[in-house]
Structure 1
Amino acid sequence: MTNSTDSTNDPTPTTPKTVLEASVEVLRAHGLTTVFGNPGSNELPFLAGLGADFDFVLGLHEQVVVGMAEGYARVTGRPALVNLHAASGSGNGMGALTNAHYGHVPMVVLAGQQVRRTVGQETMLASADAALLPAPLVKYSHEPLAAADVPRTLSQAALEASAPPAGPVYVSVPLDDWGEPALDDDALLLERSVTIAGGLPEALVRDLASTLDAASSPALVVGPQLDAASVDDPAVFEAAAVLAERLDASVYVAPSPSRGPFATTHPNFEGVIVPGISSVRERLSGHDVVLVLGAPVFRYHRWEPGDYLEPGTDVIQITQDAREATRAPFGRAIVASVGPATTALASLVADRGRRRGDRGSRELSPARTSPDGMTGTEILEVLNAHVNDSVAYVNETTTLDLDYLERIAIDRPGMYHFPASGGLGFGLPVAVGMSIAAPERTIVATVGDGSANYGISALYTAAQRGTRTVFVIVNNGGYGALAGFAERMGAGHVPGLQLGGIDFAAIAQGYGVPASTTRTREEFTAAYRNALGASGPVLIDARIVP
């Protein structure tokens, strides 16, 4: 007789998964296996449990870490995983989070928390209100109320980051949660998906097409969501050009562009709108219908008081961000997927049969020159002379932002990137992140000497990873953009705008990046040509006249 308590015939008991093991499976299911971080003590249990298929990208400062993740996500179109250290590391990274937030860049920020039972005591390295800290800059911020909810929270975070409008999310996890037992039902998380069908209804497409067909002088104002959609589907980029051609519409890039949403070589392209109320009104005057595709209405910067629009100018906005739609001070807004909407309209509007010349109405003046040395626009001319299919640009030279899209041929999706909120420290780390995501490309980062100091440690990661990144420090010896603002504001003498004595070539070499200093166009041309042919990162300290 067999004793009923005899376990010899029972199935072999299995050890339950830990929260860490279940969480790693969730991250793997969402493709979040590249981790950008600067580790601290609270994060060690998590990092120690990652599998061999995870790639940890070390950054030496949290702002650089977030910036590299933004560059990676901009290229891949998928969320990047960031690992930060409690409140201190999260605080260091928040300057870069402003750019990711306003740039709609998908990102999962995972922050380490102290042992759960000690958080309320505000022990060393605890974050008493962890979810509140980054709240204005993320779509979703949460610290799970129980360890068992960590895997589900990470699943939600990954889906939230990708759902339109894409953007960063934040999850804080106490370090002792990782060793707790997971739920058997966490296996269901690996099969989850969220599909958002945000196309325009046929009746609305026809209504918009009729409005555009009836316009006597239509215009398109295009923004970063259009470029992001084009990275996922290059046909959207072509559809925007077809829409402009069929309508014979002038195409403007929306103020403060963080991406290049339209080919700057196209005959209908009319440049970037200056980010001021009066400047926008003047540029759009004469157009009776203005269709804004994938941009806010509008992100002003300069204070130019006045009326928003001339009488007779009607604005229609299509955006994936409901908050962009609701906060606009004028116009009719439609919340929908920008890519499908652009494609649908391009196929439906009537063809007016008119085509413009090679450059439309624009006549570019020669680059500014100076007997005292090289100018910023001369740098842009050199860059444009060496455009090729592998090059993409990261720009953080605010003194040249309006010139950039005029003077450099941007003719494919994902080719131009600029900080969406103006948070300094964007250029160097974003360029490195883009290089990691697309090692076959050459990423050229033009960065002002003022902003370069915010993210200079990104050079370490570039050297360690051997990225194909060309860093051009546009060095005018100060905060040139602020000097321009001071002049327009009549602020007179402002302290702190001059910089001097910084040897960026020496700093780069200290991090392991080959570097040189140039002072003339001829020297810069030679250095840039050599940098494009290098197999790893190169920095050029390009000294220009203020």
Structure 2
Amino acid sequence: MRTVRDAVFDILRRYELTTIFANPGSTEVPLLAGLPDDLRFVLGLHEGSVVGMATGWAIGRAAPALALLHAAAGLGNAVNAIATARENRVPLVVLVGQQDRRHLALEPFLAGRLTGLAGDYPVRADHPVRAQDVPGAVARAYHEAATSRGPALVVVPMDDWAAPFDGETVAAPVRLLRPAAVADADLAPLVELLAGARRPAIVSGAGVGSGWAALVALAERLGCPVYQESFGGRAGFPQDHPQYGGVLPGERDELRERLAPHDVVLAVGAPVFRQYSYVPGPLVPAGTVVALVTDDPDVAHRSPADLAYLASPEAVCARLADLVPSSGRGGAWSRTHGHSPYAGGPLRPTDVLRELAGRLPHDVALIEEAPSARPDLHALVPARTSFGFLSAAMGGLGFGLPAAVGLRMAQPDRPVVAVVGDGSALYGVQALWSAAHYRVGALFVVLANGRYAVMDGLAERHGGGKAPWPAFDEVDMGALARSLGCPAVRVETYDDLTGALDEVMPSLATRETPLLLDVAVTVER
């Protein structure tokens, strides 16, 4: 007899969802026991790491990934990672186990009150009415995740897997095409705006994806600077290009000052404009016209732009590069930063980042989760490909280590480096076991200062008195890594740092074992 489980396995094969990231619970055993050999199970030791690894896998493959969570406990533990996937616009299919449908009304042990547990972060959350609706729900989740670029959840009671599925209909299309072309007539208002601009600028964001060539062609046609959105999850423009102008400030007064020279600002794949601390006043100076191109409906609908396009950024930029007349402008806008070279004494984050930048291969995938060092990383480590800077756009911690593991699994020939703070690493440290067990050759550079340095700085600037949280310099990241099976090296001096980097970098693309560098750094003021 053909079962719901059989039908779902066929769906997973059809959409190449054959790698299952999971931390199993009892309600998932009927699905997983006797898993077919062509389906791969990847164990994570915490659900945040499970979804984080799936997120990295999806980024690396540019396609939806599959995660499996256990009822309320698993889904609850994974909510931060699900929120990060939504903000980073990463497509995920998330199956969530549930107790046996036949006695859910009695709220048995491990029955989950799952409706709304992940909030509004899933692009779809489905509770199939019948067991026979599960295969269609999984197929629809795949399409919803790919279309909306976010996590789609399907809750499956444990007895559904054994239910019969003979002669049933899968309520979802086999193929779903998403044409991305744009008509020249529709672009006419934007062409006119850009052609008439005296001092245009572009703001690039994570929504550009890997389609850099079209945006580069447009920027060179306009002869204008290209800024990176603030707090973005991915670089949107080559940061070694002479027209790259740096990262936009995250506060309105500084943003207005940066954009003051420009009469037209075109945001591509980025919201208008992401901020952090609230500062009163408008986002842009009076008289500056803002246009937006995004394929994210939420961004399009909330952005205070004068002209907005809900369309493929790559398709729009490609046509604009042909339709907009050449400005004849030239020049370089690369911003210089005054970071002094190593002068002896304890290592600073800037010392580590400078030495790292000088050795990174061009095609490196660099995952960042070191909030206090992020400005220095932007200044010292330019993203030269679309994988050259990846971060958690949501801002919650726990992304860096598991995302690096998943991305390297998806692209085993690409060098992968995660630069994380020790405070950040503690939120996803379980991923190191998965890296070691599955022989994932990523490099984890942990900037260990034994404190939440970014929070300390915020408390000082707030001026409300001493922060109540202590340092945690007793934590030994190297020992934690080794306890999870991941090799680790302690770095305390400049010679330690350069020696470790010189040893590991030549094998970064081919190594089959992970390595964590536990780098002791001082807090820069």
- TM-score, normalization by structure 2: 0.95
Tell whether 2:79 aligns with 1:102: no
Aligned ranges for residues 276-295 of structure 1 at < 5 Å?
276-295=251-270
Q: Which residue of 2 aligns with 1:344?
A: 319
Contact 2:460 2:466 in 1 (8 A): no
Paired position in structure 2 for 1:73:
58
Quick one: which of 514, 521, 525 aligns to 1:537? 514
Matched, 1:238 2:213: yes
TM-superposition CA deviations, 1:471-514 (whole Å, max 9, x none): 11111220011112112222321121522111111111111211
Please say if residues 368 and 375 of structure 1, whose CA atoms lie closer than 8 Å, have aligned partners that are also in contact.
Answer: no
Cα deviation for residue 202 of structure 1 reads: 1.4
Q: How much does 1:124 deviate?
A: 1.1
The code of the aligned residue for 2:108 comes to T
Paired position in structure 2 for 1:160: 144
- Evaluate the alpha carbon distance shift between residue 516 and residue 361 of structure 1 in structure 2; reply closer, same or farther with a 3 A threshold: closer
Deviations 1:178-234 (A, max 9, x none): 111114244785x611122243321122321221010000000011010x2x2xxxx
Q: Quote the offset at 1:523 in angstroms.
A: 1.4
Identity, in percent, stands at 38
Per the alignment, do residues 320 and 39 of structure 1 end up closer, same or farther by CA in structure 2, a change over 3 Å counting? same
Matched, 1:121 2:106: yes
Q: Distance in 2 between matches of 1:324 and 1:302?
A: 19
Question: Are residues 1:414 and 2:387 paired?
Answer: yes
Q: Return the offset for 1:368.
A: 6.4
How do 1:339-378 residues align onto structure 2 when only pairs under 5 Å count? 339-357=314-332, 360-367=333-340, 369=342, 371-378=344-351
Match of 1:11 in 2: none
Equivalent residue letter for 1:319: T
SS in 2 for 1:466: coil
Residue equivalent to 1:328: 303
1:256 aligned residue: 231
What secondary structure, in the 3-state scheme, does the structure 2 residue paired with 1:138 have? coil
Q: Kindly provide the amino acid, as one letter, of the partner of residue 373 in structure 2.
A: L
Pairing 1:119-268 to 2, within 5 Å after superposition: 119-128=104-113, 130-163=114-147, 165-186=148-169, 192-226=174-208, 228=209, 230=210, 236-268=211-243
Separation in structure 1 between the aligned mates of residue 343 and residue 115 of structure 2, nearest angstrom: 52
Aligned to 1:233: none
Matched residue of 1:539: which SS? strand
**C-alpha contact (below 8 Å) 1:220/1:249 kept by paired residues:** yes
**Counterpart in 2 of 1:92?**
77
Question: How far apart are 1:361 and its partner, in Å?
Answer: 4.9
Instruction: Give the 3-state SS of the residue equivalent to 2:120 in structure 1.
Output: helix
Matching residue of 1:59 = 44
Report how far residue 332 of structure 1 moved.
2.5
Does the 8 Å contact 2:449/2:473 carry over to 1?
no
> What one-letter code is carried by the residue in structure 2 that aligns with 1:197?
P
Q: Is the 8 A contact 2:54 2:403 kept in 1?
A: yes
Deviation at 1:127, TM superposition (A): 1.5
List per-residue Cα deviations over 1:270-293 (Å, max 9, x = no partner): 101121222222211121110000
1:270-326 residue CA offsets vs partner (Å, 9 max, x unmatched) = 101121222222211121110000111222112222222211111111111111111
Give the conservation status (yes or no) of the 8 Å contact 1:22–1:182. yes
Partner residue, 1:434:
407
Task: Quote the offset at 1:334 in angstroms.
Answer: 1.5
Sort the Cα spacing of 1:317 and 1:391 in 2 relative to 1 into closer, same or farther, 3 A: same
5+ residue gaps, structure 1, are 1-14, 231-235
Distance 1:510 1:390 in 2: 31
Where in structure 2 are the equivalents of 1:380-391 lying within 5 Å?
380-391=353-364
RMSD between superposed Cα atoms in Å = 1.6
Q: CA deviation at 1:150?
A: 0.5
Q: CA deviation at 1:160?
A: 0.4
Q: How many Å separate the matches in 2 of 1:157 and 1:461?
A: 26
Greater CA deviation, 340-349 or 299-308? 299-308
Q: After the TM superposition, list the runs of 4 or more consecutive aligned residues in structure 1 that deviate by more than 3 angstroms.
A: 185-189, 367-372
Distance 1:202 1:366, change over 3 A: same
Q: Give the partner amino acid of 2:77.
A: N
Whichever residue aligns with residue 389 of structure 1, its letter is: H
Residues 1:305 and 2:280 aligned together: yes
3-state SS of 2:475 partner: coil
1:38 matched to 2:23? The reply is yes
Please tell me whether Structure 1 or Structure 2 has the larger radius of gyration of its CA atoms: 1
* 1:480 aligns to 2:453 (yes or no): yes
Q: How many residues align?
A: 519
Deviation, structure 1 residue 371: 4.9
Match of 2:462 in 1: 489
Match of 2:12 in 1: 27
Matched position secondary structure for 1:399: helix
Gaps of 5+ in 2: none
Q: Please list the CA deviations of residues 83-138 of structure 1 after superposition, one character each: whole Å capped at 9, or x if unmatched.
A: 0000110000011111101111000110110000222222111113x232124111
In structure 2, C-alpha distance between the alignment counterparts of 1:137 and 1:320, rounded to whole Å: 18
Q: Distance in 2 between matches of 1:398 and 1:142?
A: 35
Checking the alignment, whether the CA contact within 8 Å between 2:354 and 2:381 is kept in structure 1 is yes
Structure-2 change in CA distance of 1:175 and 1:245 (3 Å): same
Q: Aligned residue for 1:12?
A: none
2:392–2:399 CA contact under 8 A, matched in 1:
yes
Deviations 1:140-169 (A, max 9, x none): 001101111001111100010001x31101
Indicate conservation of the 8 Å contact 1:274/1:402, yes or no. Answer: no
CA distance in 2, matches of 1:372, 1:486: 27
Residues 188 and 120 from structure 1, CA distance in 2 versus in 1: closer, same or farther, beyond 3 angstroms?
closer
Query: In 2, distance between residues paired with 1:202 and 1:329?
Result: 24
Aligned residue identity for 2:39:
F
The one-letter code of the counterpart of 1:416 is F
Give the corresponding residue for 1:518.
491
Contact 1:134 1:170 in 2 (8 A): no
Contact residue 220 and residue 252 of structure 1 kept, 8 A: yes
Kept in 1, the 8 Å contact 2:136–2:170? The answer is: no
SS in 1 for 2:474: coil
- Secondary structure of the residue aligned to 1:540 is strand
